[in-house]
Structure 1
Amino acid sequence: MTEGPGTQGLEQVLEPSGWKLLQSLPPYDERAALPLGARLREAGHAPELVAAVLTQAKLRAKGRDKFGEFADRMLFTADGLEQATRLPIAALHARRFRDAGISSLADLGCGIGGDAMAAAALDLEVLAVDRDPTTVAVATVNLMPFEGARAELGQAQDHDPARTEGIWLDPARRRPAAGRASGSVRLRDPEEYSPPLSTVVDLARRLGQAGSGRGGADEDGALGAKLGPGIDHDALPAGTETQWLSWHGQVLEATCWFGPLASAGTQRSALVIDRGGAHRLAPRGTPEADPHTGELGAHLYEPDGAVIRAGLLGEVARDLDARTLDPSIAYLTSDQRISTPFASGYSVRDVMPFSLKRLTSYLREHRLGILEIKKRGTAVEPDELRRKLRPRRFGEERATLVLTRIGGEQHVIVASPHPRPPGD
């Protein structure tokens, strides 16, 4: 096995005695880790095994954020956990295959097996494939509770599409940073992914030709692939649907759906997940037009990042009867207060040209000391501005400061967030 962060000693953890020791550990507590490790070594356990099980315990605690209670019986690598799909999102991926009538799925580049687990939990037969032996071993353990799932060593480029009805891919979209011992950089060009987007497109075509992916000889098969959220729209394959997904305000992925998994006539969509549920936005009816630019109204709206990435700002503007403050900035403004899952709303309290001296006087006069600072289209950095303002000295009143351009000039909008709807 190739060792990396979170993999040292993993072979020993996979032995029955190592697994038993891992399962016997109490819930991970950073403060208790050192004395616990000392006690385990005093009890005769090898230092390498003790370090390995404590690393796994720490990763399990961190993994609860993505996998909930499932994390307590999983194995992880540090990189695998960081890159893994959150289980609720993986379930949405799996549901799309199931709803299209797909009963068997190959997860190519499966990582630690998050998407494969979700598919197996929905009773799909799952073949999880990865090119890294350590990762395959980890995925094998994580898939053990599911009778219809198995993991094996392999590469997407060599996969036979006829083995399953559907294919899921999560191509590697990072490479090691040049000249650095650790760290990586995001890849912008989808042809630099591993596998590249052209290979993904070819797999979808061959899956359709195999007749196992619910497609015809001239149709793509049932394939889904993660892309980088910043992918250029011109690079999206024809006849597919790419959906940008945000999780509680954070854009996590763009997924390209082929063949029967794509919504007819929809090339781009957004899925916004918040405490109120999952909300889908796609072009409706007439072709979307860019919103017009106008004066600041009584309300300001900050569209969700998935909406912006999907190029659907005009759809939200139409729903809000809104306009932009500047053609190049994705803030919307309207005279109406309307609740939407696709944008955060603010009531405008005041607006002024940007000036540190004038802003300081305003905050002091209105006793505004608890500030949320947002920016778009300006070089001013919120953290730097906060250090210069030292707002806590002004009082205990709250406000949101929005730094942006209006009519090409730098301005500060003083606003208050709209109250959240019940359940949000």
Structure 2
Amino acid sequence: MPPDHQAEQLAPLLTAEGWALLNSLGPYREEDALAISARLRKAGHAPELVSAVLSQARLRLRAETKFGEFSRHMLFTRAGLEQATRLNVAARHARRFVDAGVQRVADLGCGLGSDAMAMASLDLDVTAVELDETTAACATVNLMPFPHVRVVHADAQSVPLEGIDAVWLDPARRTTTTSGTTRLWDPEEFSPPLSFASDLADRGLPVGVKLGPGLPHDSVPDSCEAQWVSVDGDVAEVALYFNALKRPSVRRAALVIAGDSASELVAETDFDGGTVASVGPLEGFLYEPDGAVIRAGLVAELADRLGGHLVDPHIAYICAPRLAQTPFARAYRVLEVRHYNVRALRQWVRDEGISTLDIKKRGMAVTPDELRKLLLAGQGKAPRKSPHKRATLVLTRIGEDRVAAVVEPV
């Protein structure tokens, strides 16, 4: 959504009438949108206000996955919501600052205010800075319940830091134009750039930085701890911690959050050091590491913990002779390993009477959805050995060979 349109959509909601109308809707369902629109217009509300209310109600509905019930009383922009930190992750960011003994934090690039909310909830004094005027307006509304937070509409790089104990940065990683938003990949194109955070850390300030999980290892500064975080299987971020926020014995970490539980795998070594995993056959139990483990370069460490080996030195699949419970990977029992041949696999699907096929792949230029359609084509006409038979294929490369492993989830 272009910046000027975002402002137009938000402005009607910053009036007494607009705010009251938005909060009067209650829980929103998309299938009720037409009926709600007709009802509000019939009640005499201006079309611009009705449009703004419905757009914001949609954003609040999407925001529930990150903010829970708090989303029902907040304001959002589409781009801001995409980058906003989940509250359960923001709480972990805030805990770092409390454990480091700081009191006054500058949240530079606060966005919609999720990290500032978490910090204020732990009684930290927060100066929340946001360059985009529309997003700053949303943050002001969202942070009103917290008396120890000030929202400043300014460039994060120009804000004086006198009296500040520590800094948190969530740089803008998208550029917004009239045609929408585009993701930025170069850390020096972020706003503010990663080098700005490093410069602050060089001054001795405790600094934390939230970045996208695809950050290359060679872009991670030498002086920080890097923690990749996944939530319910989705890799959400990598957080870099400098100085007092950095744990002395941790260089890289994978934090895996599932529901109310959290587990962490850490290494003291740099990305090009640490455990070297052995390589062995695809048999026994196959483990698919969590994305945070892969991003943190901790697959070899996990293989060692599981008493297993890699099936290929360049592929993030682990095999082990025994089943072990772990929060860091999903386990499958290997039933059969076949050469990857589409014709033979299609005949196998037919002979086994398979009606539902799950396909996972790594290290192969195959599109699972397209292959699934091809393998299941015509199966509806064939007699089945058993109704609704389900199977799982894991496609991977072992050296120069392409294989298809028939597995079952444990």
Tell me if both proteins adopt one fold, taking TM over 0.5 as the criterion. yes
Instruction: Quote how far apart the aligned CAs of 1:29 are.
Output: 2.4
Percent identical:
49
Q: Which residue of 2 aligns with 1:185?
A: 183
Q: Counterparts of 1:372-411 in structure 2 under 5 Å? A: 372-390=358-376, 393=380, 395-411=387-403
Query: Unaligned regions of 5+ residues in structure 2, if any?
Result: none
User: Residues 258 and 401 of structure 1: is their aligned pair in 2 closer, same or farther, counting only changes over 3 Å?
Assistant: same
Would the aligned equivalents of 1:326 and 1:408 in 2 still touch at CA under 8 Å? no
Q: Counterparts of 1:202-241 in structure 2 under 5 Å? A: 202-206=199-203, 208=204, 221-241=205-225
What amino acid sits opposite 1:11 in the alignment?
A
Q: Which residue of 2 aligns with 1:245?
A: 229
Instruction: Quote how far apart the aligned CAs of 1:284 are.
Output: 6.2
The DSSP-based 3-state class of the residue aligned with 1:76 is coil
Instruction: Quote how far apart the aligned CAs of 1:6 are.
Output: 4.7
User: Residues 5 and 370 of structure 1: is their aligned pair in 2 closer, same or farther, counting only changes over 3 Å?
Assistant: farther
Would the aligned equivalents of 1:5 and 1:79 in 2 still touch at CA under 8 Å? no
Q: Which residue of 1 aligns with 2:292?
A: 306
Provide runs of 4+ in structure 1 moved above 3 Å. 2-7, 284-287, 391-395
Would the aligned equivalents of 1:242 and 1:268 in 2 still touch at CA under 8 Å? yes
User: Residues 3 and 237 of structure 1: is their aligned pair in 2 closer, same or farther, counting only changes over 3 Å?
Assistant: closer
Q: 1:200 aligns with which of 197, 203, 214?
A: 197
The DSSP-based 3-state class of the residue aligned with 1:18 is helix
The whole-number CA distance in structure 2 between the counterparts of 1:192 and 1:26 is 40
Q: 1:342 aligns with which of 321, 328, 332?
A: 328
The DSSP-based 3-state class of the residue aligned with 1:36 is helix
Instruction: Quote how far apart the aligned CAs of 1:359 are.
Output: 1.1
Q: Which residue of 1 aligns with 2:318?
A: 332
The whole-number CA distance in structure 1 between the counterparts of 2:302 and 2:9 is 51
Instruction: Quote how far apart the aligned CAs of 1:4 are.
Output: 4.8
1:338-381 per-position Cα deviation (integer Å, ceiling 9, x unaligned): 11111111000111001112112222333332222101111121
Would the aligned equivalents of 1:367 and 1:397 in 2 still touch at CA under 8 Å? yes
The whole-number CA distance in structure 1 between the counterparts of 2:201 and 2:305 is 36
User: Residues 320 and 364 of structure 1: is their aligned pair in 2 closer, same or farther, counting only changes over 3 Å?
Assistant: same
Would the aligned equivalents of 2:111 and 2:136 in 1 still touch at CA under 8 Å? yes
1:235-256 per-position Cα deviation (integer Å, ceiling 9, x unaligned): 2222210101111111111110
Q: Mean Cα displacement is larger for which, 272-281 or 60-69?
A: 272-281
Would the aligned equivalents of 2:251 and 2:268 in 1 still touch at CA under 8 Å? no
Instruction: Quote how far apart the aligned CAs of 1:113 are.
Output: 0.7
Q: Which residue of 1 aligns with 2:107?
A: 107
Instruction: Quote how far apart the aligned CAs of 1:124 are.
Output: 1.1
Query: Unaligned regions of 5+ residues in structure 1, if any?
Result: 209-220, 419-424
Instruction: Quote how far apart the aligned CAs of 1:89 are.
Output: 0.7
The DSSP-based 3-state class of the residue aligned with 2:197 is helix
Q: Which residue of 2 aligns with 1:213?
A: none
The whole-number CA distance in structure 2 between the counterparts of 1:5 and 1:364 is 53
Would the aligned equivalents of 1:368 and 1:399 in 2 still touch at CA under 8 Å? yes
The whole-number CA distance in structure 2 between the counterparts of 1:381 and 1:120 is 45
1:101-142 per-position Cα deviation (integer Å, ceiling 9, x unaligned): 122211111111111111111111111110111111110100
Count of matched residue pairs = 401
User: Residues 285 and 308 of structure 1: is their aligned pair in 2 closer, same or farther, counting only changes over 3 Å?
Assistant: closer
Would the aligned equivalents of 1:7 and 1:77 in 2 still touch at CA under 8 Å? no
User: Residues 19 and 296 of structure 1: is their aligned pair in 2 closer, same or farther, counting only changes over 3 Å?
Assistant: same
Q: Counterparts of 1:150-161 in structure 2 under 5 Å? A: 150-161=150-161
The DSSP-based 3-state class of the residue aligned with 2:180 is coil
Would the aligned equivalents of 2:104 and 2:166 in 1 still touch at CA under 8 Å? yes
The whole-number CA distance in structure 1 between the counterparts of 2:47 and 2:3 is 17
The DSSP-based 3-state class of the residue aligned with 2:274 is coil
Q: Mean Cα displacement is larger for which, 197-206 or 244-253?
A: 197-206
1:117-171 per-position Cα deviation (integer Å, ceiling 9, x unaligned): 1111111111111011111111010001111112111112112222321211111
Q: Which residue of 2 aligns with 1:26?
A: 26
User: Residues 356 and 56 of structure 1: is their aligned pair in 2 closer, same or farther, counting only changes over 3 Å?
Assistant: same
Instruction: Quote how far apart the aligned CAs of 1:175 are.
Output: 3.1
User: Residues 260 and 386 of structure 1: is their aligned pair in 2 closer, same or farther, counting only changes over 3 Å?
Assistant: same
The DSSP-based 3-state class of the residue aligned with 1:56 is helix
So what's the TM-score if we normalise by structure 2? 0.93
Q: Counterparts of 1:23-172 in structure 2 under 5 Å? A: 23-172=23-172
Instruction: Quote how far apart the aligned CAs of 1:265 are.
Output: 3.2
User: Residues 290 and 186 of structure 1: is their aligned pair in 2 closer, same or farther, counting only changes over 3 Å?
Assistant: farther
Would the aligned equivalents of 1:59 and 1:78 in 2 still touch at CA under 8 Å? yes
Q: Which residue of 1 aligns with 2:14?
A: 14
